[in-house]
Amino acid sequence: MKIAIVGAGSSYTPELVFKLGETASRLPVTEIMLMDTDEKRLSVMGGFCRRYAKSLGYAFAFGETADLKEAVAGARFVVTQIRIGGNRARTGDEKIPIAHGLIGQETTGAGGFMKALRTVPAMVEIAKSVEEHAPEAWIINYANPTGIVAEGVHRATKAKIAGLCAGGMFPALWTAAALGVPAESVRYDYAGLNHMNFAYNITVGGRAVTEAEMEKIMGQVGSVDFGLLKKIGAVASPYLQYYFHTRKAVEHMANAPSTRGEQVLGLEAEIFAAYADETNSQLPQALHRRGGGGYSEIAIGVMDAIYNNTDRFMVANVPNRGVLPFLPEDAVIETACLVNAAGLKNLTLDPPPKAVWGLISAVKNYEQLAVDAALTGSRDTALLALVAHPLIRDYDIAKPLLDELLEANKQYLPKFFEG
């Protein structure tokens, strides 16, 4: 079996290699093709992965290429973890909105919008290549914003894509920590959008949690007011802090000595120095400070369920298909799914509490406009997307903000500058 990793220059690639080795009895991978447009990072990562795999006793054959067709041809799964513009573009996504008094964050608000504009066209190109050169392959995506990316790919191609995020595991992990139960025994209704989701009807081993137990689980969230969660009646994604505590979040970002992107740039320099050391075959300590791990477990879980036709409960970004009656049928949502060889099937669930329907609808409206803008290069549509976003909304802010963001990303967004 061949697995392609597109965006293999990511610092997360060794985590995937480790997990693929751990599950070799279920996923008989023989070849891992590493692909990246940054050939220097690709070379460093290829060398380290070979040393790392050898130190673990894994017998993978590694290939390296900057050619997309060569990477995906014949692959059974194509893992995508691209970051167009790298973390330098991310810092602009964060700092420019903050200067306008808005949330400056990688996947939420104006920053997430710019990441979407850069990422969606690139992911559509990858998906079209998979359609042509590996039509049976599944794209396992964790390039953010993963929900918007999945919607763009579904709209522009027929490629099979699983849009994943570690956040889908959080309710199980919180329940395990709060109640002292195995995370594998936890199930829940889970609905909303990527980084805009709610978990409710939580069960442990088939038993519904009590009100007191639910409150203990809510207490694990931390970033969203406990009293508000009680009133809503659901556990919320940590990213809901940007919607429910906006002023506090903006003040914190404005007063911080550096953005998260700037911090990550420093950490990645340290991480890649360790990867480049030809005497080193172990994961660098700085990787633990990088954060964002855990995706490999989800990615491998989806591959395992599809390849071995093993029913598995997973959270993924998939077309709505009636799960949320207040959203369009084809709108991509983040929800609980049954995964097996047939793919990802939405599970029937109760709608989320009515108190959050409007917020989910508003952000989905923004997301669909963002996909339109990314695919067409329309400035008018891009402006409407920003005005539709609950975290921006004000036209007098959105118009100059869009001009500044597009100019900062001119090299990545040629469609917006044609004519």
**What confidence category does residue 414 fall into, taking pLDDT thresholds of 50, 70 and 90?**
very high
pLDDT > 90: percent of the chain? 96
Q: What is the mean predicted confidence (pLDDT) over 285-291? A: 80
The rounded distance, in Å, linking the Cα atoms of 327 and 302 is: 26
| pLDDT score of 129 | 98
Bridge-based pairing state of the strands 2-6 and 186-193: unpaired
Tokens 């991480």 belong to residue: 271
The rounded distance, in Å, linking the Cα atoms of 374 and 379 is: 10
Q: What is the mean predicted confidence (pLDDT) over 32-44? A: 97
**Structural element, H or E, at residue 366:** helix 357-376
Out of 239, 243, 275, 295, which one is annotated catalytic? Answer: 239
Cβ atoms 349, 335 nearer than 8 A: yes
Alpha helices in 134-169 (DSSP H): 146-156
Alpha helices in 224-279 (DSSP H): 226-232, 241-244, 246-255, 260-276
Residue 190 has pLDDT above 70, yes or no: yes
Bridge-based pairing state of the strands 138-141 and 160-163: parallel
The rounded distance, in Å, linking the Cα atoms of 32 and 10 is: 15
Query: CA 158, 162, 168: angle at the middle one, nearest 5?
Result: 150
Q: How many CB atoms lie within 10 A of CB 407?
A: 12
| pLDDT score of 291 | 67
The rounded distance, in Å, linking the Cα atoms of 114 and 66 is: 25
Domains observed in the chain: 2-164 (3.40.50.720)
**What confidence category does residue 163 fall into, taking pLDDT thresholds of 50, 70 and 90?**
very high
Residue 177 has pLDDT above 80, yes or no: yes
Cβ atoms 261, 292 nearer than 8 A: no
Those residues with Cβ within 8 angstroms of residue 126's Cβ, 6 or more apart along the chain or in another chain: 6, 68, 72, 78, 80, 82, 139
Among candidate residues 66, 76, 65, the one with its CA nearest the CA of residue 133: 76
Residue 394 has pLDDT above 70, yes or no: yes
Respond yes or no: is residue 307 known to be catalytic: no
